[in-house]
């Protein structure tokens, strides 16, 4: 019998992207018996040294991968779901949303300190405007500064021999995938710092008309994670905000009183200087995930979310 042709999986070349993509490749081969080879694709977001907020909107880490899919040079691509623009892309589909890592943010600080133990004036670095806004809103007197670089580069800003910061805040999911959790000094409670929409989740994208790949990849889909991410990203869509906006959203599933899955969604918009913010929550049946996200976004808009986002541009 002829061995199946290997699938070509497009991935960014960063350590985190490669780890995520290899995890998907291994899971896909284990489930289907089809070999998967990684194809490195360089994106504008990887090449640029600009701050995340200055990179020109959503999609800076995914455009080249999508171009490779359209060109047929790769069969599927793995994205950090939070990096994907919310608008659908003609000819491409998210064929699977695998099991999600812990979506919370994590603090990596000198001397094992927690957020509350950092003295006023401490310099804390992060690449996300959302984190910057929420950290400033805590009123702890921290000097929050923008940083770029891969996970290890960011951690070295707080822990290395040439450290120039007291702490950095990173996605816990990335630290877990890279086996760096031992450096975490505190996992931040969403009550303090609410995660980014789809943080910790992966999106496996392929061509819509590629029935073989869609069917192979579908086995990795986690319907519960897909519902949570759909609700979170619906907030972004309704707010007309991108992945670099100071918008947070986090959905969880639980069993309702009638035994059916109930989705609980929280979201917030915070001024970049931390001076003001709006936060709300909503719950309802899991099949209504997108509608719940839209309704919560409408509530936030009624309470001034658009003005807060405008202050952050």
Whether residue 206 is found in the same domain as residue 234: no
The verdict on residue 194 lying in a domain is: no
298, 306 Cβ separation under 8 angstroms? no
Q: How does residue 242 score in pLDDT terms, banded at 50, 70 and 90?
A: low
117 and 255 in a single domain? The answer is no
Select the more confidently predicted residue: 301 or 240: 301
- Domain of residue 94, CATH code: 3.40.190.10
DSSP state of 66: H
The pLDDT of residue 259? 79
Burial 130-141 (b: 16+ CB within 10 A, else e): bbbbbbbbeebe
And the tokens for 223? 């319907």
Q: Is residue 196 part of a domain?
A: no
Residues in a beta bridge with 106: 170, 187
Q: Give me the sheet containing 261-270, strands edge to edge.
A: 247-255, 261-270, 277-285
Q: Is the pLDDT of residue 265 over 90?
A: yes
Nearest C-alpha neighbor of 7 from the set 222, 220, 212, 201: 212
Residues marked active site are found at: 83
- Flag whether pLDDT at 123 surpasses 80: yes
**At residue 51, does pLDDT exceed 50?**
no
The tally of domains found in the chain comes to: 3
Q: What angle do CA 192, 305, 292 make, to 5 degrees?
A: 80
> So what's the pLDDT on residue 257?
76
pLDDT of 47 over the 50 cut: no
User: Is a pLDDT exceeding 60 seen at residue 48?
Assistant: no
Domain ranges, residue 237: 228-311
Hey, how many other C-beta atoms are within 10 angstroms of the C-beta on 35?
13
Can you read off the two tokens belonging to residue 78? 């793995």
Return the CATH number at 271: 3.30.160.40
- Clarify whether residues 35 and 88 are in a common domain: yes
Q: How far apart are CA 230 and CA 293, in angstroms?
A: 8
Summarize the confidence of residues 84-94 as an average pLDDT: 92
């Amino acid at each position: 019998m002829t061995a199946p042709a290997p699938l070509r999986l497009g991935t960014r070349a960063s350590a985190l992207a490669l780890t995520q993509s290899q995890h998907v490749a291994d899971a896909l081969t284990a489930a289907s018996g089809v070999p998967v080879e990684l194809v490195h694709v360089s994106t504008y977001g990887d090449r640029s040294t600009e701050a995340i907020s200055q990179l020109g909107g959503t999609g800076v880490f995914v455009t080249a991968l999508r171009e490779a899919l359209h060109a047929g040079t790769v069969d599927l691509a793995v994205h950090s779901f939070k990096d994907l623009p919310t608008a659908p892309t003609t000819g491409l589909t998210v064929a699977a949303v695998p099991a999600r890592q812990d979506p919370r943010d994590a603090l990596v600080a000198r001397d094992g300190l927690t957020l509350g133990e950092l003295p006023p004036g401490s310099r804390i670095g992060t690449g996300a405007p959302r984190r910057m806004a929420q950290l400033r809103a805590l009123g702890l007197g921290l000097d929050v500064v923008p940083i770029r670089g891969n996970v290890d580069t960011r951690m070295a800003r707080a822990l290395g021999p040439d450290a120039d910061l007291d702490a950095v805040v990173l996605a816990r999911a990335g630290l877990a995938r890279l086996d760096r959790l031992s450096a975490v000094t505190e996992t931040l409670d969403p009550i303090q710092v609410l995660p980014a929409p789809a943080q910790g989740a992966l999106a496996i994208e392929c061509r819509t008309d590629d029935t073989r790949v869609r069917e192979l990849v579908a086995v990795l889909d986690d319907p519960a994670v897909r519902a949570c991410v759909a609700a979170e990203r619906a907030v972004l869509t309704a707010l007309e905000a991108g992945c670099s906006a100071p918008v947070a959203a986090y959905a969880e599933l639980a069993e309702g009183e009638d035994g059916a899955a109930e989705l609980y969604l929280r979201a917030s918009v915070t001024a970049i200087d931390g001076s003001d913010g709006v936060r709300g929550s909503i719950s309802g049946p899991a099949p209504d995930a997108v509608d719940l996200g839209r309704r919560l976004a409408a509530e936030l808009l009624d309470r001034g979310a658009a003005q807060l986002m405008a202050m952050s541009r």
